[in-house]
Structure 1
Amino acid sequence: MPFEYKKVLMLGATSGIGWALAAKMIENGVSVIAVGRRQEKLDEFAKQYGSGKATVDTAAFDITKLKEIPGFAKEIFTKHPDLDCVFLNSGLQRHLDWTKPENVDLDTMEQEMLTNYTSYMHLTKAFLPYLQKQAPKPTSLVFTTSGLALVPIIYCPNYCASKAALHHMILAMRQQMKQIDSNVKIIEVYPPAVQTELHDDKHQPEFQGKGRSLGMPLDEFTEEAWAGLSADDNEQVPVQAVKTFMGFNGWEKERQGTMMKMMEMMKKSH
């Protein structure tokens, strides 16, 4: 089936996965509101895709400015009352080495958690009521997490922790929405390592120029992720390695099954 939403707010649209998926949506007739911190990149996106098969709008915003998020959500929905999909995709990744605690930068750790997790909670709280008000029209919140939410690696443990926290919240949030038969679908996209600027030297100099070659090519990721988002069963969209050896089709499904059993046990005890 085709992607069922007609207008998407794409946060983190100025590079990497966000840019690529937003472009793919426009190619398939889905209107996009591209959001990011860098106005020059937003202008570039609008220039490149503004004459495509769907409308393009842009909004410069820094999601780490938490107090400004409610006003941003109101502004977006005032201008775009037909917005039916909010795609939370922004993120950053940094190295962290606990063998040298004197070099651990707690401010960097806090910024990573703020960007990857805390801001998502503020954005969810701000945007969810607007999506709920559109009932019975189907709407969605889409979250980009990571295969590292399931299987951590040692060079970026704080990034892994932030994605694991988000993954757990999404699992619980989805079931809460289902319990009230909500019109808001909760979708999670699990990328593996993808060749984007996330790994560039300006962000992670530890890679010594090799970061951009890590993972699967961005165009291959985009095709597989888009196919998953356009499928009938699109609540969870694991891509490539996340399915093959990071546990999604094995112990992660078993773990989610255990979660459902615990929910049933708790219902019976109340």
Structure 2
Amino acid sequence: MPFPYKTVLITGATSGIGEALAERMIASGIFVIAVGRRQDRLDALVAKHGADKVAGEAFDVADLEGMGDWAKKITSKYPTLDCLVLNAGFQRTLNFTSPSTVSLPLATAELHTNYLSPLYAITHFLPHLTALSPAPAAIVLVTSGLAVIPLPRCAGYCAAKAALHSLAWSLRAQLAGPASPATHHVRVVEVLPPAVQTELHPQQADLVAEGQDRPGIPLEEYIGETWDELVRGEADEVVHSVHRDRLGRSEGLRREGFEQFVEVMRGRGLKI
């Protein structure tokens, strides 16, 4: 099914992949609810495109306790919201060979933003998306190729994205399952970017010092292919061609095993 959603909320929409996706959606006539912490950037996005095409909503998605009230405010203010793009995230080095350099508060914040925030958002927004039936709705989770093949330098980031990757599989199976017809209209799509030239790496002082802060492919090149895949609407996992074969080899047997396991459990009348 081609991208049918008309009111899309994007977290982390003030830079990088989130901002680039917002630009593509606005250009396609989709109303975007741009979410970020930086009010000045949200204001600039609205000033650029107009309040009839985009709304800026300042919120720190790491505020897990405030997520419920915020979700109620958003769904009341934008009742046509039919798609979440949960994209916000950040990455830091986690070096266990030098334990004194490990910041546990920072590692906790990384887990909150990269995994717990999407988990909370799904939980709080899903009743609204379910109520849209039979109109289509979607949850788009932006994870990473590092969810499948981790990079030891940023172990915390990889682990959080791997958890979100696993959650995407389970969430999709639950919502599409025969025992839950009320949620069959809610699609779960995962986007697994490779390294992309965004603010993710320049924000890391150690990478800047070593001249390693601009890895990956140009943002526009990445977004062009990714947006085309989202519009095509055929894939539950949107993987860029730069690492599609590698991730496919890594995940093929695991995905087959997961689907067989789910079917066996359903066949035995057991909860999945």
Band of TM-score, shorter chain:
over 0.9
Q: Evaluate the alpha carbon distance shift between residue 78 and residue 209 of structure 1 in structure 2; reply closer, same or farther with a 3 A threshold.
A: farther
Write the deviation string for residues 87-127 of structure 1: whole angstroms up to 9, x where unpaired: 10000000011111121111111110010001111111110
CA deviation after TM superposition for structure 1 residue 44, in Å: 1.0
State whether residues 94 and 204 of structure 1, in contact with CA within 8 Å, keep that contact through their aligned partners in structure 2.
no
- Give the C-alpha shift of residue 211 in structure 1: 4.3
For 2:46 and 2:243, locate their aligned partners in 1 and report how far apart those are by CA, in whole Å. Answer: 32
Equivalences for residues 74-223 of structure 1 within 5 A: 74-179=72-177, 180-181=180-181, 182-200=184-202, 202-208=203-209, 210-223=211-224
Cα distance, 1:138 vs. partner? 0.4
How far apart, in 2, do the equivalents of 1:212 and 1:22 lie?
24
State the partner residue of 1:47: 47
Once the two structures are superposed, what CA deviation does each residue of 1:49-95 show, in whole Å capped at 9, x if it has no partner? 227xx611110000111111111111111111111101100000000
| Residues 147, 192 of structure 1: 8 Å contact kept | yes
**Distance in 2 (alpha carbons) for counterparts of 1:49 and 1:99:** 48
Taking the aligned partners of 1:104 and 1:125, their CA distance within structure 2 comes to 31
Instruction: Note the residue ranges of structure 1 that are not aligned, 5 or more in a row.
Output: none
Q: State the AA in 2 paired with 1:226.
A: W
For the residues of structure 2 that align with 1:134 and 1:194, how far apart are their CA atoms?
34
Q: Percent identity?
A: 40
For 1:224-256, what per-residue CA distance to the aligned partner results, in whole angstroms no more than 9, with x for missing partners? 1101101131321011333032x2x22312211
Conservation of the 8 A alpha-carbon contact between 1:196 and 1:212 = no
Question: What CA deviation, in whole Å up to 9, does each residue of 1:137-195 have, x standing for no partner?
Answer: 10001110000000001110110000000000110110001112421101100100000
The question of whether the paired residues in 2 share the 8 Å contact of 1:194 and 1:218 is answered with yes
Q: Whole-Å Cα distance in 2 between the matches of residues 264 and 177 of structure 1?
A: 14
Moved over 6 A (4+): none
When structure 1 is superposed on structure 2, of 250-259 and 87-96 the one drifting more is 250-259
SS in 2 for 1:213: coil
SS of structure 1 residue aligned to 2:84: strand
The 3-state SS of whatever aligns with 2:152 is: coil
Distance in 2 (CA, whole Å) between partners of 1:118 and 1:30 is 27
Alignment partners' CA distance in 1, 2:250 and 2:171? 21
Residue 268 of structure 1: how far off its partner (Å): 3.3
Distance 1:254 1:8 in 2: 33
Residues 39, 60 of structure 1: 8 Å contact kept: yes
- Post-superposition offset of 1:212: 4.3
**TM-score normalised by structure 2 residue count:** 0.93
